[in-house]
Amino acid sequence: MNVVSDLLEPNLRGWNESLVRSIFTIDEANSILQIQLPLYPQPDLLVWKGEKSGIYSVSQWLVHERVSLRPEKAEVFIKSYYSEFKNLISSTSIPSIIETEHWDPPPPLIFEVNADVGFKSSECRSSSGVVIRDAEGHIIISCHKINNHVHTAFAAEARALLQVLEFASEIGLHSVVAESDSKTLINKLNSKDLDFSEIGPITRDIRTLARTFTLCSFRFCARSCNRAVRAMATEGLYRSADYFWVEDAPISVRLIAADDRWFLDPP
């Protein structure tokens, strides 16, 4: 092995797990396999692990490394840190998020694609729940997909939204509203800023895939209106394989979807 690409499956954007495990220790192999590889070509980026944003700053380095300062220098540092924080807030544009308390149908001829996850941190395993509904609330497609080597719930949320868009593209949908109950994720996708965080490769893949649709928007929905897809994700945690339904879903998901339709058009 000479370069990192030697550890990848030929013609596939994924790790060659058997090769990785044959070369590295268990802990090293698990860490490598948890690195999300992008689906589409992306430039290499230098990020700093000490901050969730992935962006390096001297003040954050001092906090992260717990550097001790004399009182007079500590005063200078605090003032500098506060000034840096104010500048960051004033220069950061936070996109507005449309919030809904109940399941909100998409406009006619547009499909709503919802994603959520079940996550088992002890197993580094997640279940991506997917429910696609039309403007009348009828289920078009539903599925749950098992993912291994997932290191955080945040990464699992991002991967689920990527997978629901992949699914929508594969079945030929052209106009979609993609929803998630992760505000942070939706903020990142609606922002024009480059994402340097741990899920950066995934959010850049999502944006690339979104551009292949005629219309694709991202919307936050509270957990109270995301119950159907949450039930789907939970269902997936108890199965060892991916399952797909066409115009159908497990009974727990169908009952919630029926309740959502009743709320839209009560008798």
Return the DSSP state at 218. Answer: E
Regarding pTM above 0.75, the answer is no
Together in a domain, 128 and 244: yes
Plot region of 109 (φ>0 → left; ψ -120 to 50 → alpha; else → beta) = left
Together in a domain, 154 and 24: no
> What is the average pLDDT score of the chain?
80
- What is the tens place of the pLDDT at every residue in 151-185? 889 999 999 999 999 999 999 999 999 999 999 99
Together in a domain, 20 and 150: no
Q: Is residue 237 part of a domain?
A: yes
Q: Is residue 61 part of a domain?
A: no
Together in a domain, 14 and 122: no
Q: Is residue 189 part of a domain?
A: yes
Residue 186 belongs to domain with CATH number: 3.30.420.10
What is the per-residue pLDDT for 100? 53
Q: Is residue 42 part of a domain?
A: no
Together in a domain, 139 and 244: yes
If one counts the domains in the chain, the total is: 2
Q: Is residue 65 part of a domain?
A: no
Q: Which domain holds residue 15?
A: 4-33
What is the per-residue pLDDT for 267? 61
Q: Which residues of the chain have pLDDT under 50?
A: 56, 64, 91-98
What is the per-residue pLDDT for 115? 93
Together in a domain, 120 and 26: no
Q: Is residue 121 part of a domain?
A: yes
Pairing of strands 243-246, 125-133: unpaired
Q: Is residue 81 part of a domain?
A: no
- What is the tens place of the pLDDT at every residue in 56-75? 455 555 554 555 555 555 55
Q: Is residue 87 part of a domain?
A: no
